[in-house]
Amino acid sequence: MKRSDWVLLSAVGGGLFMAGAVWRPAFGDYSKFKDAMECMSFLATTVAAIVAIYTLRAWKDQFRHAERFATLRAVKDAIADLHVYRKHLLSVVKIFRDARANGGKFDQQLILREELIRQQLLSALSTYRKAWAAAVAFFTPEEEQGFVGTPDAFMKLYRSRARNIQTAHEQFSVSNQASEFDAVVDAYDTEAKALFLETLEAIETMIRRKI
């Protein structure tokens, strides 16, 4: 039971005790029927107030749960579109792998494809950020603190990983260093898959949880 419920019950108990103090003399003498009826009216009003308070509280809890569920569903839908983060990452990888296989010459079609996917990613991130902003008010402090795949986390990786892949391409430019370049790429690919799955699982767990 919540602390506020205990406070409410204590107040009600005190009110009923005082009502009893009024009732006793009233019923000690049946001639005081009018006083007894007034006491009954007081008690009925008290009970009605208690019922109204609990009904309002139940309605507020139900409304909050419905709002939480709706906003979390919107977050989940936005997260589902973040698979494009890995798609963009792989499009960057493809540019550099193709260049490494063709004497350092970059394919303009692959560059145009990366730019298109990048716009898709930025759109998905914008949608996710808006859904997140609407839903975060319904998170518990523990949920917010423990959530890994925030909009900022995805944006940070988007900004850094493509640049790091280019750095790896330049650092391991010799043909016999292909394995070193591939190790960097594979690590980022594994990271992208893990982040997406962990984020999706986290929001699904929150949707199932009753707060």
Q: Which stretch, 25-39, 43-57, 182-196, has highest mean pLDDT?
A: 182-196
pTM above 0.75, yes or no: no
Residue 84: pLDDT band with limits 50, 70, 90: very high
**pLDDT reading at 22 higher than 60:** no
pLDDT of residue 66: 80
Phi, psi of 201 (to 5 degrees): -65, -35
HEC sequence for the chain:
CCHHHHHHHHHHHHHHHHHHHHHHHHHHCCCCHHHHHHHHHHHHHHHHHHHHHHHHHHHHHHHHHHHHHHHHHHHHHHHHCCHHHHHHHHHHHHHHHHHHHCCCCCCHHHHHHHHHHHHHHHHHHHHHHHHHHHHHHHCCHHHHHHCCCCHHHHHHHHHHHHHHHHHHHHHCCCHHHHHHHHHHHHHHHHHHHHHHHHHHHHHHHHHHCCC
**pLDDT reading at 175 higher than 80:** no
